[in-house]
Amino acid sequence: MSDGKQDETPVDSTPREPEGAAGEPDAGSDQPSRAQSVLREILESSTLVVIMAIVASLAIGGLLILFADEEVREAATYFFSRPSDTFQAMGDALGGAYAAMFNGAVLNLNANDFAGLIKPFTQTLTMATPLIFAGLGLGIGFRAGLFNIGAQGQLLIGATLGAYVGFAWHLPWGIHLLVAVLGCALGGAVWGFIPGVLKAKTGAHEVIVTIMLNYIALNLVAWLLTLDTFQRPDSNNPISPIVDETAQYPLILGSEFNLHLGFLLALACAWGVWWLMERSTLGFEFRAVGANPRAARTAGMNVSKAYILVMTIAGALAGLAGSAQVLGTEKVLTTATAGSLGFDAITVALLGRSRPVGTVMAAILFGGLRAAGPTLQVQAGLPVDIVFVIQALIVLFIAAPPLVRSIFRLPAPAHEKEVAA
Amino acid sequence: MRLELREITKRFGDFTANDAIDLVVEPGTVHALLGENGAGKSTLMNVLFGLYDADGGEILLDGERRVFTGPGDAMAAGIGMVHQHFMLVPVFTVAENVMLGHEQVRGPAKLLDLDAARAKVTEISDRFGFHVDPDALVEDLSVGAQQRVEIIKALSRDAKVLILDEPTAVLTPQETDELLEIVGQLRDSGTAVVLITHKLREVQAIADTITVIRRGTVVGTAEPTATQEELASMMVGRDVSMTVDKDPADPGEPMLEISNLTVIDPATQLTVLDSVSLEVRRGEILAVAGVQGNGQTELAEAILGLAEITSGDVSLDGEPLAGRSIRENLDAGIGFVPEDRTEDGVVAAFTIANNLILDLYDREPYSKRGAIDPSAVADHADEQVERFDVRTTSSQALTGSLSGGNQQKVVLARELARDLKLLIASQPTRGLDVGSIEFVHKRIIEERDKGVAVIIVSSELDEVYALADRIAVMYHGRIVDIVSPDTDRDTMGLMMAGAHGDQEEAA
C-alpha cells in the first residue's frame, strides 16, 4: 500500500510525515497526546474488536432467547395491560439462559460436590481440544497467506489412520498410543500435502482443492466403513470397532472426567506453533511469504516449499484434532467423527487472530458454547441452536470489524481509513 | 479565472499537512508547486479539488468565496485535475472516457450522444495538437497519450484552472517535452495551470511563478531563473549538491558477462529480452537506460533468477548463473534492489528489523540451528538504521509506516550488508526526494569504489548521467547501443525511442 509516491495520490487520506519528522525526538512534555495515542492504540487493537464481537453476539443471542422463550411470548400478548409480566418473564428467561450457560460451560453451581462443580469446565476443555489442534494449523496457513478450508478432510483422514492403528494393531501400552497419534498426524499431513503441492506446482487455488478434498475424504471414509477391515464385525452400521485401551488418551483427571491427555498435547502444540512462527527461521519464511510472497521470493525464499510445508503442518495438526476424537472422546471412527469441527476451527483461528494464545482462548470459548448446549436445552428449555446462532454471529462480527467499530464507536486503525477513503 | 487560496489548513490527527497556506494563481500563468514527497502539495490540491475538507482557510475564485464539497463542485466551478494515477476506464474509447460522468443524451430514447463527445475530443485535440483519436481504446494508448486524454477530459468541462499532479513521473523525456509544450499552449490560451512536481528541470523550463512547500508550510517563492541548487535547498531546507561527486571509474576485470541472453515471457510468449550481450567490470557502474517496459526489468530479473532464461549465458566472476536458485545467486554475491520496492523489496507488515534480515535470516548470527536470535536481529537493525540514517522512531516500527525514501534505505541497507560482487539497483531513487536521492547515490558510488560491479536500471536520465560510467540504452528488449555518459540528451532520447546512435559511438 505505501508506495513512495503514495502520498501524492488523491484518494489517500493518510498523512505521511515529511522526511525527518519521524526522526525528531518526541517532545517529552506533550503527555496528553502520548496518553491519547496509547488509548488510541488500545482502541484500535483487534483484540478489543474480538471481545466486542463476542459481547455483541451474546447480546443479540439474548434477544433471540427472549423471542424463543414461551413465557415471554405469552406475557407479551397482554403487554399493554400488564407490562411488568413481560419484563419479569424476560428477566427470568435471560437469567435462566445465562445461568444455564454458566452451569453448563464453567461451573455447575447446583452440584453437590467439588467434582460436580468443576465438571462443566473440564467438559469445555475437552470440547476445545480438537478445535485447538485444528485452529492452530489453520492459523499457520492464514499467516502464510493460505486459506485452508480443508481441516475437515484432513481431520477425517487423520482420524481414519489413527483409529485403524488403534483398533487393528495391538501394541504395548505407551507405544500403541504414540503410534496411533503419529498415524493421525500422518494421515492429516498427507491430506494437507496434496493441496499444498498442487498450489505450489500448478497454482491450483487451495480453497477449491481443499473443499473438494473434504468431499473425497468424507466419501472415502464412508466407503472404508463398509469394508470388513474397518467395519465393526457385529454391526451393519458404518462404525469402526472401539480402539484399544492402550491407544486411547489417558484421562488426566480420573475416570469421573472426560478430559484426556490430548488437551495437554494440544497446549504443547500451541507452544510449538508459537515457537515455529515467532522464533524459527522456517516461521520467518512462512510469515514473509504470507505478508508479501513477491518480496519473499526476491529475498531468495522458496515460496513453493513454504506453501507445501505449511499445508503439510496444518494437515498434521488437523489430523491431531482427529486424534482427540477417535483416541479421546469418541473412541470409534464414524462418518460423523469430524462433525463440523473442521469448519468451526476456521472460526476459532480467525477469532484467535491466527495466534496460538488467541486460538487456544477462542477454542475454549467455542468448547464452552458446545458444552453449554445440552444444559441450555435441559435447564432453560431453549433450543440448542441458539449456541450455533451465537457462534455464527461472532463470525459475522469478526468478519466485519468496521461494523463492530461503528456500533461501539471505536476509531478505525489508520490503514483501514486509507482503504475507506 | 484567478484562483486564490487563503490560509488553508488541513490536519490529520496531530499532524498538520497544510499549515495556513496562501497561494494565488493568475490566469494565463503556470504556477509550479514545488516540494518533496510528503511536503503537503497533494493535500493542498485535494483540498482545492473538494476531496478533503479544510480545517481552516478559504478558497476564492475571481475574488468570490467558494466551498467545494466534492470533485463535482470543483469541476463545475472550472477546476480540472489530472491525477498522477490516471482515472480512465481502459476498455472504453477516448470519447467514452471523456463523456464519462457528463453523458449527453439525445432523442426520446435518451441514447448516449457519442457523436457530440467525439466532436468535442476532436475539437480540443486539434486546437492543441494532441493527436488523439476519439475512437481509440484507452488501453491501447501510450502513457503520454492517456495523459492527454485526461487533459482533454478536464478541458471538455471548461476547466479554467488545471491542476497537474506529478504529470511527468510516468513520461519519457520526449513525452515530457511534449507535455511542457502543451502546458505552454494552455497558458497562452488563458488557462491557469498548477504544476505539482519535485522535478527542478521542468519547473525551470515552464513555470512563471514557483511556490516552494516544505512540511506543510510555504517556505518561499522563487523566480524561474533560480538555479537548481537554490530551488533544491529551499525544498529540503539545507544545502544540497545536485551533482554526485565521483572519481573516474577504475574498472577491473569483467565481473558479470552476459551473452545472447533471451527471455520469453511464459505468460504472453512475447520476447522480452532479445539476445542481449553485455559485460560489467569490477568497479564500474553500467546504467541501463530506456523507457519503462523495454526489457530493463526483465534483464535485472533474469540475472538474479527471478525471470527464467530462455537461452543465452550469464556468468558472475566466471561462474554460470543459469539454473541456480535465487538464494544461490544472492549467496554468490549479488545485491538486488528491486524496481518496485513495496511489492518486491520490503514486507510492509514486518518490522524494519525483520526486513533488514529478509535475506539473511538463516545465517549466523541472526539465527542458530533454525532458531532466530531476536537480540542479534535487533542489534543489527539498530546499527543499520543508524548507518543508513533511516528516519524512524524505532527499528521495531513497521516498515509500512516509513516514507518511500526510508523504505528504500532499508532495502539498500539490507542488500549492502552482504559482501557483494555485483549490485543491481532498479529505479533506486524512484519517488524519493532530493535529500534521499543524494544519499542513495553516494552509497551506490561507494560500492563501486569498493570494487563492486554495479548495474543501475533507471528511466530517469538525470540519474543515469549522474551515476553511469557507461550507458546501455534498451529498446524493445534489445540493447540499442552502449555509449559513454557524455552523449547528449537529445541523442539519448532518440536512442530510447529506438533510433540507432551509430554516429555517437564513432565519436
The answer to whether the beta carbons of residues B80 and B19 sit under 8 Å apart is no
B390 DSSP assignment? -
Q: What is the spatial distance between Cα A20 and Cα B409, in angstroms, rounded to a whole number?
A: 13
Q: What is the spatial distance between Cα A361 and Cα A266, in angstroms, rounded to a whole number?
A: 12
Residue of A nearest to B409 (CA): A4
Q: What is the pLDDT of residues A259-270, one digit of tens each?
A: 999 999 999 999
Query: Could you tell me the strand order of the sheet in which B271-281 lies?
Result: B271-281, B254-264, B311-316, B319-320
pTM (two decimals): 0.78
Residue of B nearest to A11 (CA): B51
Residues 6+ apart with CB under 8 A from A71: A89, A92, A93
Query: What CA dihedral angle connects B93, B99, B103 and B109, to 10 degrees?
Result: -30
The lowest-confidence range among A313-327, A370-384, B313-327, B354-368 is: A370-384
Q: What is the pLDDT of residues B120-175, one digit of tens each?
A: 899 988 888 888 899 999 988 888 888 889 999 988 888 899 999 888 876 777 78
- The neighbour count for residue B458, using CB atoms within 10 Å, is 25
Of B45, B347, B372, Cβ closest to residue A281: B372
- Class in CATH terms, B243-333+419-507: alpha beta
B139 DSSP assignment? G
Q: What is the pLDDT of residues B59-87, one digit of tens each?
A: 999 888 988 888 888 888 899 999 877 88
Q: What is the pLDDT of residues A345-395, one digit of tens each?
A: 998 998 888 899 999 999 999 999 888 888 888 887 788 888 888 888 887
8 Å CB contact of B405 and A4 = yes
Q: What is the spatial distance between Cα B448 and Cα B401, in angstroms, rounded to a whole number?
A: 31
Instruction: Determine the residue among B9, B34, B37 to mutate to test chain A binding: the one whose Cβ has the most chain A Cβ atoms within 10 Å.
Output: B37
The C-alpha cell 550488508 sits at: B417
Chain B residues with CB-CB distance to A3 below 8 A: 342, 404, 431
What is the distance in angstroms between the Cα of B266 and the nearest Cα belonging to chain A? 14
A225/B244: higher pLDDT: A225
Q: What is the spatial distance between Cα A199 and Cα A270, in angstroms, rounded to a whole number?
A: 26
Alpha helices in A257-380 (DSSP H): 261-279, 281-291, 293-298, 303-323, 341-351, 356-380
Strand intervals (E) in B370-419: 371-372
Domain that holds residue A48: 42-105+382-421
The answer to whether residues A141 and A289 belong to one domain is yes
Burial A397-420 (b: 16+ CB within 10 A, else e): bbeebeebbeeeebebbbbeebee
Q: What is the pLDDT of residues B180-235, one digit of tens each?
A: 998 999 999 899 999 988 778 888 889 999 999 988 889 888 888 888 888 888 88
The answer to whether residues A199 and A301 belong to one domain is yes
Q: C-alpha angle B231/B237/B238, rounded to 5°? A: 90
Upstream peptide bond of A233 is cis (omega within 30 degrees of 0): no
Residue of A nearest to B345 (CA): A295
Q: What is the spatial distance between Cα A199 and Cα A193, in angstroms, rounded to a whole number?
A: 10
What mean pLDDT value characterizes chain A?
84
The answer to whether the beta carbons of residues A375 and A103 sit under 8 Å apart is yes
The answer to whether residues A186 and A153 belong to one domain is yes
The answer to whether the beta carbons of residues A366 and A270 sit under 8 Å apart is no
Q: What is the spatial distance between Cα A294 and Cα A304, in angstroms, rounded to a whole number?
A: 12
C-alpha to C-alpha distances, A313 to A221, A318, B317, nearest whole angstrom: 22, 9, 40
**Amino acid identity for residue B174 in this structure:** Q
Size of interface A-B (CB pairs under 8 A): 168
Q: What is the spatial distance between Cα A255 and Cα A262, in angstroms, rounded to a whole number?
A: 15
Is A261 within the bounds of a domain?
Answer: yes
8 Å CB contact of A18 and B38 = yes
Handedness of CA A243, A248, A254, A257 (dihedral sign): negative
Is A322 within the bounds of a domain?
Answer: yes
Q: Which residues pair with B9 in a beta bridge?
A: B56
Fold annotation for B3-236: Rossmann fold (3.40.50)
Q: What is the spatial distance between Cα B242 and Cα B40, in angstroms, rounded to a whole number?
A: 23
Q: What is the pLDDT of residues B457-488, one digit of tens each?
A: 988 888 899 899 999 999 889 999 999 999 88
ipTM, interface predicted TM-score of the complex: 0.77
Residue of A nearest to B338 (CA): A298
Residues 6+ apart with CB under 8 A from A151: A134, A137, A138, A314, A318, A321, A341, A342, A343, A345, A346
pLDDT higher than threshold 90 for residue B445: yes
Chain A residues with CB-CB distance to B214 below 8 A: 18
- The neighbour count for residue B213, using CB atoms within 10 Å, is 26
What's the residue count for chain A?
A: 421
Q: Give the pLDDT confidence score for residue A15 in this predicted structure.
A: 38
pLDDT higher than threshold 50 for residue B329: yes
Of B84, B343, B392, Cβ closest to residue A22: B392
Grid coordinates representing A344 are 468451526
Residue of A nearest to B433 (CA): A19
Is A74 within the bounds of a domain?
Answer: yes
Grid coordinates representing B63 are 475574488
Is A3 within the bounds of a domain?
Answer: no
pLDDT higher than threshold 60 for residue B433: yes
C-alpha to C-alpha distances, B106 to B110, B134, B153, B431, nearest whole angstrom: 5, 19, 20, 46
Q: What are phi and psi of A249, to 5 degrees?
A: -65, 130
Please tell me if the domain spanning B3-236 has the same topology as the one spanning B243-333+419-507: yes
Burial of B320 (0-12, 13-18, 19+ CB in 10 A): exposed
8 Å CB contact of B350 and A291 = yes
Is A19 within the bounds of a domain?
Answer: no
Angle between helices B173-188 and B489-496 (to 10 degrees): 110
Work out the pLDDT band at A77, boundaries 50, 70, 90.
confident
Instruction: Show me where the domains of chain B are located.
Output: 3-236, 243-333+419-507, 342-418
Q: Is A227 helix (H, G, I), strand (E, B) or coil?
A: coil
Q: What is the pLDDT of residues A134-144, one digit of tens each?
A: 999 999 999 99
The answer to whether residues A239 and A285 belong to one domain is yes
Is A1 within the bounds of a domain?
Answer: no
**Closest by alpha carbon to B222, among B237, B203, B238?**
B203
Q: Give the pLDDT confidence score for residue A411 in this predicted structure.
A: 66
- The neighbour count for residue A174, using CB atoms within 10 Å, is 9
Chain A residues with CB-CB distance to B349 below 8 A: 291-292
Is A373 within the bounds of a domain?
Answer: no
The answer to whether residues A340 and A389 belong to one domain is no
Work out the pLDDT band at A223, boundaries 50, 70, 90.
very high
Q: Specify the number of domains making up chain A.
A: 2
**Closest by alpha carbon to A342, among A163, A223, A214, A238?**
A214
Q: What is the spatial distance between Cα B400 and Cα B348, in angstroms, rounded to a whole number?
A: 4
Q: Give the pLDDT confidence score for residue A277 in this predicted structure.
A: 95
Is A7 within the bounds of a domain?
Answer: no
Q: Give the pLDDT confidence score for residue A45 in this predicted structure.
A: 53
Grid coordinates representing B506 are 564513432
**Closest by alpha carbon to B287, among B60, B463, B456?**
B456
8 Å CB contact of B436 and A8 = no
The answer to whether the beta carbons of residues A101 and A375 sit under 8 Å apart is yes
Grid coordinates representing A347 are 472460526
Chain A residues with CB under 8 Å of a chain B CB are 1-11, 13-23, 26, 33, 279-282, 284-285, 287-288, 291-292, 294-302, 415
A321, A337, A367 - which closes a domain: A367
The answer to whether residues A206 and A66 belong to one domain is no
